[in-house]
Amino acid sequence: MDEQLVVHVLREVRPGSGERVLVAVMNKHRDFAIAREQGWYRIPVKRAPRRVAADYLAFYFTSAFPQGQRHRVIFYAPIRAYRLVTRIELLPDESDHPRAKDSYFRVEIGPLLRLDHPIPSRKLRRITFIPTSLEKLLNAREINDLWDKGRDQDELWAALRAQEIEAERQVEVQEAGVRYLADFVIPCRAGQVIVMCDAMPGPDGANVLRFTADQLLRETAACVQRIREAMALCGGS
């Protein structure tokens, strides 16, 4: 990655105009104070998501925060610039930290904006980064609404929600010693149904369903029916 300054030119923003948003974890009061008062947030380069560039940065509060704030997205802010620096440049009072010389993105942000409707996580799940859009951020009712994985997966998510099938999106799963990221996980009485939305080789099993993008777009109802059948084999919801 080139060690150079990457500057975002801010544009007029209108809801639904498709601006990119990166939802990041906020797990320390000090980091939130820095974001609010000094206007920056740090992301370790080693742990940065593939799509780190965005127009807005939003914050998901962990259990470190008080009831009413934890496990939800409440604030977001426009991104003004990215700077590549070392940790010791960001936090000179922690010069003896083991990662003091590691590279970080210093994400410079504008004033914090409060969402009209905070976005909760129903399952209080562990979250790292969620690349999404401003439209999804402003309209999401819960964390699963934020995932921006293409129209095919959005179609399935809308169909599951319409039929009141509770699912979690982009969940890390471990089965038979293998760890992978599942596109959808539906908890059942005797296990869980795992949905993978691609045609690539991957985990197999009676509880694992695989759909192509074309199936999800053209045969959404049939895909949901197959999910229901798999749920029944797992004891139902």
Q: Are residues 41 and 15 in the same domain?
A: yes
Rounded-to-integer distance, Cα 139 and Cα 57, Å: 16
Q: Are residues 38 and 109 in the same domain?
A: yes
Q: Could you tell me the residue range of the domain that residue 138 belongs to? A: 6-146
Domain count, the chain: 2
Type and span of the H or E element at 220: helix 220-233
In angstroms, the Cα distances linking 166 to 121, 193, 202, 237 are 13, 11, 23, 8
Rounded to 5, what percent of the chain is helix, strand, coil? 25, 35, 40
* 124, 146, 168 - which closes a domain: 146
Q: Are residues 86 and 187 in the same domain?
A: no
Q: Are residues 25 and 49 in the same domain?
A: yes
CA nearest neighbour of 169 among 134, 215, 125, 205: 125
Q: Are residues 10 and 108 in the same domain?
A: yes
* 146, 177, 194 - which closes a domain: 146
Rounded-to-integer distance, Cα 204 and Cα 194, Å: 10
Whether residue 108 is contained in a domain is answered as yes
pLDDT value for 1: 39
Angle at which helix 220-233 crosses helix 151-162, to 10 degrees, equals 60
**Domain harbouring 117, CATH code:** 2.30.130.30
pLDDT value for 202: 63
Rounded-to-integer distance, Cα 83 and Cα 85, Å: 6
Whether the CB-CB separation of 61 and 35 falls below 8 Å is answered with: no
Whether residue 1 is contained in a domain is answered as no
191-196 and 208-210 strand pairing: parallel
Classified as helix, coil or strand, 150 is coil
pTM of the model: 0.84
> Which stretches of the chain drop beneath a pLDDT of 70?
1-18, 124, 199-203
* 146, 165, 183 - which closes a domain: 146
Whether residue 80 is contained in a domain is answered as yes
**Domain harbouring 226, CATH code:** 3.40.960
